Amino acid sequence: MASTLGSMPAWRQMDAFRADRGHGLPNWPDWCFLPMSGFYAILSDDAQCDRLPLNQMEDVARLAAMGTWRVTQGIYRFDPAAHGENGISDLRPGAGGDARQINARLY
């Protein structure tokens, strides 16, 4: 598999994919930092293969999460006193609603 990106760190590859959005690559919605296929391409290029084994799909998800977070590096801190005020009593997964509901209540 020939690659022009293989020698670049993953972060630079992400930037290169985003710069090529709508030009050499298909366009994607503005709300999407980079499609999962872009993160998959970075990892499969690094592994020098066309298809990643199923057990590496978690790595694709991790890279997507870290790569997207890298842009803002936002960290939320919730004031326990504000939970009840915003209708949020438990922030554990599955207990307090999904992230969109939580964000809508906080902003």
User: What pLDDT, in 10s, does the model give residues 23-66?
Assistant: 999 999 999 999 999 999 999 988 888 888 888 899 999 999 98
**What average pLDDT does this structure show over 82-87?**
57
Question: Per-domain residue ranges for the chain?
Answer: 10-72, 76-107
Q: Say how many C-beta atoms besides its own lie within 10 A of residue 41's C-beta.
A: 18
**What average pLDDT does this structure show over 69-76?**
80
DSSP 98: -
> Which pLDDT score, from 0 to 100, does residue 63 have?
92
> Which pLDDT score, from 0 to 100, does residue 8 have?
75
> Which pLDDT score, from 0 to 100, does residue 99 have?
54
Full DSSP string of 9-38: -HHHHHHHHHHTBTTTB----TT-SS-HHH
Mean pLDDT, the chain, rounded, equals: 77
**What average pLDDT does this structure show over 62-91?**
73
> Which pLDDT score, from 0 to 100, does residue 2 have?
40
What does pTM read for this prediction? 0.63
Contacts of 10 (CB under 8 A, 6+ apart): 42, 46, 63, 67
